[in-house]
Amino acid sequence: MMQTRLSLLLGSLSAALVAFALTSPRVVAADKVDPVADAKAFRNYFFQKFPDVKHEDFVNGPYSMNADMKRQWQEKEEFPPYEFALDAGKEMFATPFKNGKTYADCFPNGGIGVRQNYPYFDEKEGKVVTLELALNRCREANGEQPYSYVKDEMASLTAYMAFTSRGKPMDVRIPDDPRALAAFENGKRYFYTRRGQLNFSCASCHVQSPGERIRAEILAPALGILNAMPIYRSEWSGMGTISRRFVTCNSQTRAVPLEPQSDEYRDVEYFLSYVANGLPISGPGARP
């Protein structure tokens, strides 16, 4: 029964993906990477698909799609389930390393209110640098062991840094560098490529079917999906980072997950963050 539902869903998703691709300026100029045009088409797709949703509400994921869930979420926000991580992250951020320095020494503006600028393209390294990667590099540069990228300490640190940026618009830049353009395009390609036993892409759920259910989960729109990270999920009974979300999505489609902070995951984070430019940071968040 489940396999039949999935087959029917795949058919409708394929048709929707073709329709979306045909409206994208990238089809007209397939030999030229144009992030500005791609971002405009991406945002307009969601704005037109959900005309009753306020643009800034897309960052609230499934709660922007369902009025009952939104009311429950607003009530839950009075005593948010991620509060423990937020408190822990704030304390960790201020606690000196063994050499006396802190995370503030590694980031612009002391690391406060900078979440909206990540990930960024490091022109010296020639690769995308995410906030999670920057935090572990900060630790290693100060003689500390790196944290797991998927939960616990990393989730707490990014929760605190996201909280200090709440309300600030996502502001990810793509420099005039062919390597940066390639990273953006690689992230876009990964996002739309089908994989795994279910033959799903990231877009299969989060572009064509936001607001619909797969099993007990209401699918979130891809637009602004990373603005709410890290998130507390009931199914995890804890916090998860962007890395954890990517790994989990691959597992759910029965694909082989990549290593956290692999080039592909960093590039897809770059793509999804750039197309969400202008939408507010809302993390840390909570999801069912």
Report pLDDT digits (tens) over 132-155. Answer: 999 999 999 999 999 999 989 999
pLDDT band at 16 (very low <50, low <70, confident <90, very high): very low
Same domain, 12 and 141: no
Q: Rounded mean pLDDT of 223-227?
A: 97
Q: List the beta bridge partners of residue 79.
A: none
Mean residue pLDDT across the chain:
89
- Enumerate the known binding-site residues for heme c: 106, 138, 202, 205-206, 249
Same domain, 195 and 222: yes
pLDDT band at 31 (very low <50, low <70, confident <90, very high): low
Single out the residue in 96, 129, 163 at which a domain terminates.
Answer: 163
H-type helices in the chain, by residue range? 2-23, 25-28, 35-49, 67-76, 83-94, 131-141, 152-163, 178-192, 202-206, 242-252, 263-274
What is the separation of C-alpha 127 from the centre of its chain, rounded to a whole number of angstroms?
A: 18
- Say whether pLDDT at 22 is over 60: no
The predicted structure's pLDDT at residue 3 = 39
- Region of 121 on the Ramachandran plot (φ > 0 left; ψ -120 to 50 alpha; else beta): beta
Specify the CATH number for the domain of residue 130.
1.10.760.10
Q: Rounded mean pLDDT of 165-181?
A: 97
**Residue 238, both tokens:** 């804890």
Which of 122-131, 213-222, 258-267 comes out lowest in average pLDDT? 213-222
Same domain, 68 and 175: yes
Single out the residue in 138, 163, 188 at which a domain terminates.
Answer: 163
- Enumerate the known binding-site residues: 106, 138, 202, 205-206, 245, 249
The predicted structure's pLDDT at residue 161 = 98
Would you say the C-alpha torsion 140, 132, 116, 32 has a positive or negative sign? positive
- Per-residue pLDDT of 40-59, as tens digits, reads 999 999 999 999 999 999 99
Q: Which residues of 141-154 are buried (b: 16+ CB within 10 A; e: fewer)?
A: ebeeeebebbbebb
Same domain, 192 and 71: yes
- Residue 230 belongs to domain spanning: 2-79+169-287
Same domain, 157 and 173: no
Same domain, 73 and 209: yes
Catalytic positions are: 249
- Say whether pLDDT at 7 is over 50: no
Same domain, 178 and 57: yes
Count structural domains, the chain. 2
Same domain, 40 and 55: yes
Look up tokens 């995370």; give the residue: 103
Same domain, 22 and 118: no
- Per-residue pLDDT of 177-217, as tens digits, reads 999 999 999 999 999 999 989 899 999 999 998 988 877 77
d(CA 195, CA 150): 22
pLDDT band at 168 (very low <50, low <70, confident <90, very high): very high
Selection from 220, 114, 100 nearest residue 157 by Cα: 114
- Residue 17 or 174, more confident: 174
Single out the residue in 106, 132, 163 at which a domain terminates.
Answer: 163
Same domain, 59 and 183: yes
- Residue 229 or 4, more confident: 229
The predicted structure's pLDDT at residue 39 = 98
d(CA 205, CA 211): 9
The predicted structure's pLDDT at residue 272 = 98
Same domain, 133 and 119: yes
d(CA 82, CA 70): 17
Q: Rounded mean pLDDT of 57-82?
A: 87
Same domain, 90 and 66: no
- Per-residue pLDDT of 91-127, as tens digits, reads 999 999 999 999 999 999 999 999 999 999 999 999 9
d(CA 143, CA 266): 24
Beta strands 127-129 and 213-214: pairing type?
Answer: unpaired
- Per-residue pLDDT of 76-87, as tens digits, reads 888 999 999 999
The predicted structure's pLDDT at residue 200 = 92
